[in-house]
Amino acid sequence: MTMKHVFHKGSNPELPTLLVLHGTGGTESDLIPLAEMVSPYSNILGVRGNVNEHGMSRFFRRLAEGVFDVEDLIFRTKELHEFLDEAAKTYEFDRSNVVAIGYSNGANIAGSLLFHYADSLKGAILHHPMVPLRDKELPDLSGVPVFIAAGKNDPMCAPQESEDLQQLLEGAGASVQLHWENHGHQLSRTEVVAAAAWFKQNIIS
């Protein structure tokens, strides 16, 4: 399936390819500067969601604020998973060495990849995510490192969501670090700096 995207070839093919996934209303290029802060020599694959909500791009539909269209979420997660398989062949990167960086809606679809496919991501940086779906048995995520950045005063994503997501991922074997901020739902520079330090320690060390 086709998804609008950009690919920037990195200078070190041994490093993970960074899959960057925007928030609601974003584009495939929005988080590239963030990815460059996290790992400046990595390949970067920026993807735009295929769902249009009142002119804003999203990765899956929602029924209301904070209420996901689960059927569409599952379909779009499969779509992104298959797109990654195709992109790895097109751009000749190691499909088994992909780390997602997502913000808000993009973090939710990255989390859904982890919830549905054990082999989809080597790791993930999730900025202000929610639990993609509940009452689902997760695949074996043993050894998969995940960084969650959350806001204690986030009006769109209650702290309990981040704590629940951490527990669910850890219950499936993932290694999760939860980082707290006090900037609401905003993506702050301090959490990106923390994510970069985590990446260096947990992904490439």
Query: What amino acid is encoded at 121 in this protein?
Result: L
pLDDT for 64: 84
Q: Could you identify the residue written with the tokens 């195709």?
A: 86
Residues with pLDDT less than 50, the chain: none
* Bridge partners, 45 (sequence order): 7, 19
Q: Judge residue 13's burial from the number of C-beta atoms within 10 Å of its C-beta, 0-12 exposed, 13-18 middle, 19 or more buried.
A: middle
pLDDT for 140: 97
pLDDT for 1: 57
Task: Quote the distance between the C-alpha of residue 34 and its chain's center.
Answer: 13
pLDDT for 131: 96
For 70, the token pair is 């689960």
Query: Which conformational region is residue 129 in: left (phi greater than 0), alpha (psi within -120 to 50 degrees), or beta?
Result: beta
pLDDT for 165: 97
pLDDT digits (tens, 9 = 90+) for 6-41: 999 999 999 999 999 999 999 999 999 999 999 999
Q: Where are the domains of the chain?
A: 5-202
Active site amino acids: 104, 154, 185
* 5-202: CATH number: 3.40.50.1820
State the DSSP code for 137.
P
- pTM for the model stands at 0.96
The upper half-sphere exposure of residue 205, i.e. CA atoms within 13 Å in the direction of its Cβ, equals 8
